[in-house]
C-alpha cells in the first residue's frame, strides 16, 4: 500500500509495522508519523488438531531463539535503527539493472520456467477441451450444439481472475478438498483458453464451404469420415494462426495466476521487490523477459504460417 504514497496517489496509508520499518531501513523515503493503531502480533498457525510435531518444533525453536538473543538480533537487523555492515545486496551496484539480474538470475529463471511449463501444460489440455467442445458445436445435434454454446459462453465470459479464485478458494471452501495452486492454475487456463480454442475450432470448420460436406455426403461418406477426411484438413489450416496466437495469450494470462500464489514470473517479481523495493527496475526486467518470449513465439507463428502457406 505504501507504493501508492510513493507514487503520489495517496497522502498516507496504514501498513503492517514490520513491513514499513523494513522498507524504511532499505531506503524508502517514508516516515512513520503515528503510534501503532490497534497493535497486534504476528503468529504461526496450523490447523487445529493437525501437525502437532510441526507446532512443537516451531515453539521450541522460537523459545531457543529468544533465549539465545538471536531473535532480538534478527528483529534489530531488519527493523531496528542500529547500523549493520553493508552486504552486497545493499550495495549501490547491486541495485543497478545488471546488479539485480545477477543477484536474482536464479529465481527469475525458475519463475520463467514455471511460466513456460504452466503455459505448455495448460494449452495441451485446453486444446483437447477446445477441440471437443468445438466439434460438439458443429455436429448435427441440437443438444450438442447447446452444450457447446453454453460452455463457450460461460468460460469465455468469466473474468480469468474470478475463475481462478473460484477454483482455488471457492470449490475447496465448499467441498473441504484442497486444490494445489498449480492444478488450480492449469484447470483455470484449460477452461478459459479452451473456450476460445473451441470458438475458433467451431468457426474454422464453419468457414469451410458447406457444399463440400454436402458433396461428400452425397457420395455416400458418413458424417464422421466426411469431417475427418475433407472438412477438418481445410479447417485446421484456417485455425493454425489463431491457435498460435492463443498460445501467446495463455503465456501472458499466467501472470494473473500470481493471485493464487503460483511462483511464476510475475509472482517471482513481487517477491524480489519485497526484498529490495526496486519496483521500477524489477518490473522492467520482468516486462523485457515477457517481450522476448512473446517475440520468439510471434516469429514461430509467422514461420508456421509461411510453411503451411496460409
Beta carbons within 8 Å of 158's beta carbon, 6+ residues apart: 166, 192
Query: What CATH code is assigned to 97-307?
Result: 1.10.3720.10
Residue 267 has pLDDT above 80, yes or no: yes
Report the range out of 90-99, 145-154, 252-261, 268-277 with the highest average pLDDT.
145-154
Residue 237 has pLDDT above 60, yes or no: yes
pLDDT of residue 86: 47
Other CB atoms within 10 A of residue 29 CB? 8
DSSP summary character for residue 94: G
Per DSSP, the residues of 147-170 read: HHHHHHHHHHHS-HHHHHHIIIII
Mean pLDDT along residues 54-66:
89
Residue 310 has pLDDT above 60, yes or no: no
pLDDT digits (tens, 9 = 90+) for 199-236: 988 888 887 777 777 788 788 888 778 877 788 777 77
Residue 84 has pLDDT above 60, yes or no: no
Tally: H helices and E strands in the chain: 14, 0
Using a pLDDT cut of 70, give the percent of the chain over it: 91
pLDDT of residue 88: 46
Residue 173 has pLDDT above 80, yes or no: yes
C-alpha to C-alpha distance for 4 and 169, rounded to whole angstroms: 28
C-alpha to C-alpha distance for 15 and 4, rounded to whole angstroms: 12
Residue 130 has pLDDT above 50, yes or no: yes
Residues of the chain with CATH 1.10.3720.10: 97-307
Quote the pTM value. Answer: 0.74
CA dihedral over 84, 87, 89, 95, signed as positive or negative:
positive
164: which 3 cell numbers? 481462478
Mean pLDDT of the chain: 84
Shortest CA distance to 133 belongs to which of 198, 207, 201, 206? 198
Amino acid at each position: 500500500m505504501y507504493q501508492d504514497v510513493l507514487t503520489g496517489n495517496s497522502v498516507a496509508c496504514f501498513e503492517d509495522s514490520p513491513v514499513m520499518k523494513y522498507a524504511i531501513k532499505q531506503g524508502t523515503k517514508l516516515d512513520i508519523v503515528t503510534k501503532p493503531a490497534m497493535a497486534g502480533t504476528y503468529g504461526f498457525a496450523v490447523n487445529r488438531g493437525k501437525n502437532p510435531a510441526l507446532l512443537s518444533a516451531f515453539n521450541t525453536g522460537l523459545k531457543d531463539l529468544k533465549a539465545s538473543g538471536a531473535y532480538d538480533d534478527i528483529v534489530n537487523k531488519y527493523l531496528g535503527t542500529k547500523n549493520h555492515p553493508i552486504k552486497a545486496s545493499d550495495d549501490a551496484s547491486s541495485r543497478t539493472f545488471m546488479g539485480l539480474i545477477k543477484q536474482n538470475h536464479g529465481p527469475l529463471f525458475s519463475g520463467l520456467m514455471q511460466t513456460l511449463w504452466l503455459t505448455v501444460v495448460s494449452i495441451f489440455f485446453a486444446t483437447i477441451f477446445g477441440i471437443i467442445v468445438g466439434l460438439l458445436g458443429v455436429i448435427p445435434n441440437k443438444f450438442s450444439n447447446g452444450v457447446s454454446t453454453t460452455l463457450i459462453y460461460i468460460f469465455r465470459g468469466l473474468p480469468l481472475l474470478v475463475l481462478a479464485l473460484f477454483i482455488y478458494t471457492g470449490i475447496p471452501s465448499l467441498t473441504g478438498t484442497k486444490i494445489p495452486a498449480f492444478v488450480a492454475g492449469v484447470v483455470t487456463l484449460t477452461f478459459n483458453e479452451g473456450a476460445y480454442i473451441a470458438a475458433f475450432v467451431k468457426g474454422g470448420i464453419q468457414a469451410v464451404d458447406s457444399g463440400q460436406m454436402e458433396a461428400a455426403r452425397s457420395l455416400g461418406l458418413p458424417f464422421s469420415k466426411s469431417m475427418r477426411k475433407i472438412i477438418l484438413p481445410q479447417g485446421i489450416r484456417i485455425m493454425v494462426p489463431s491457435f498460435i496466437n492463443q498460445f501467446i495469450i495463455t503465456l501472458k494470462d499466467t501472470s494473473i495466476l500470481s493471485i493464487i500464489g503460483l511462483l511464476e514470473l510475475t509472482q517471482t517479481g513481487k517477491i524480489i521487490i519485497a526484498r529490495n523495493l526496486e519496483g521500477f527496475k524489477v518490473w522492467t526486467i520482468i516486462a523485457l523477459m515477457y517481450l522476448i518470449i512473446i517475440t520468439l513465439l510471434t516469429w514461430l507463428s509467422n514461420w508456421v504460417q509461411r510453411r503451411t502457406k496460409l
